[in-house]
Amino acid sequence: MERHTVIANWKMHGNQAEGVALARGVRRLLGNRFPAVEVVLAPPFTSLETVRRAIKGSRLHLSAQNLHWQPQGAFTGEVGADMLRDAGCSHVIVGHSERRRLFGETNGDVGRKLAAALDASLKPVLCIGETLRERRDGRTRQTLSAQLSGALKGVSKSVKDCLILAYEPVWAIGTGTNAAPAQVMETHGWIRQALVRRFGAAQARHIPILYGGSVNPANASELAAVPEVDGVLVGGASLDHRSFVEIVNAFSGREA
C-alpha cells in the first residue's frame, strides 16, 4: 500500500453550520501534516455542498454515505451517482451494516450500488461484516464471502485504484467494544486472500482494507499496528475534529 486512508462517517448528525464547523476544524488541525494518510469526510446529504466549499483547495476528500444504483428516475428520496459527482463527491460508502440491517439492503443491492459508483468514477467504500451471532456460530468467513461475492459480481479486475474495502464487525459498531487485534489481523488477512483469489495478487495488494467499529483515539494506534489494516472508517469519534485528527495521526507514523 502506498498510503493509508481514514474516513469520517458522520452518519445522520449535524446541520449545515455544524458540518462546516467540523470540516473547518479538521482542515485547520490537519493542515499539511500526515501526507501519507488520505483523509475523507462523509457528511449527510444535506451538508455535502457546504462541506465541499469548506474543504475546497485542501487535501480533504468528500464522500457520500449512500447512493441508488439507477442514475435517475422515479425513486423518491434517493440520490444517483452522477448527482453525487455533481455535488463534488469523490467517494461513496456502499453496503454499510446499518443500511443492510435497518433498511434491508441485500448483497445484490450492494453490488448494484457498487457498480453504479464505479460507472460514475466514484470510489466506493465497500463495507462488509458479520453479526455477533454469525461470529459465535463460526460463520464469519461464510458471511463475508457472500457479501464480497454479491458486491463484486461482474466487477472487472482493474479495480486497484478505485475500490476501498472496510471490514466492520456489526457487533463492534457503536458499542464501544472493539475487535481484538488478533481478530482484526485474522479477518483482514482472510479478506486479503479472498481478494487475491478474485483479482490476483498484483491487483489485490493495492486495495485498501480499512477497519471500522468503535474506532477512537485510545485504540487507533493499536489498530494502526495490525498488519493488513490500511486505515479506518470512523463513526462517533469523527464528530469531534480533535479526536478525528488524533486518529489520522495514529496512521501517519506507520510505514505504508
Q: What is the DSSP string of 53-108?
A: HHHTTSS-EEEES---SSSSSS-TT---HHHHHHTT-SEEEES-HHHHHHH---HH
Instruction: Give the pLDDT confidence of 207-235 residue by residue, as tens digits.
Output: 999 999 889 999 999 999 999 999 999 99
**Cα angle 16-19-23, degrees, rounded to a multiple of 5:** 140
**Please, which residues have CB within 8 angstroms of residue 108's CB and are 6 or more apart in sequence?**
150
Q: Percent of the chain beyond pLDDT 90?
A: 86
Instruction: Give the pLDDT confidence of 24-56 residue by residue, as tens digits.
Output: 999 999 999 999 999 999 999 999 999 999 999
Domain locations in the chain as residue ranges: 4-250
Instruction: Give the pLDDT confidence of 68-85 residue by residue, as tens digits.
Output: 999 999 999 999 999 999
pTM of the model: 0.95
Whether residue 203 contacts residue 158, with contact meaning beta carbons closer than 8 Å, is answered with yes
Give the pLDDT of residue 255.
Answer: 43
Q: Active site residue: 68, 91, 96, 188, which one?
A: 96
Instruction: Give the pLDDT confidence of 180-208 residue by residue, as tens digits.
Output: 899 999 999 999 999 999 999 988 999 99
C-alpha to C-alpha distance for 249 and 221, rounded to whole angstroms: 9
- Whether 96 sits among the annotated catalytic residues: the reply is yes
Instruction: Give the pLDDT confidence of 159-175 residue by residue, as tens digits.
Output: 777 999 999 999 887 77
Q: Where are the beta strands (DSSP E) in the chain?
A: 4-9, 37-42, 61-64, 91-94, 123-128, 164-167, 209-212, 231-234
Q: Active site residue: 98, 130, 168, 228, which one?
A: 168
Q: Give 4-250's CATH code, choosing from 3.20.20.70, 1.20.910.10, 3.40.50.720, 3.30.420.40.
A: 3.20.20.70
Mean pLDDT along residues 140-144: 97
- Whether 241 sits among the annotated catalytic residues: the reply is no
* For residue 1, pLDDT beyond 60: no
Give the pLDDT of residue 256.
Answer: 38
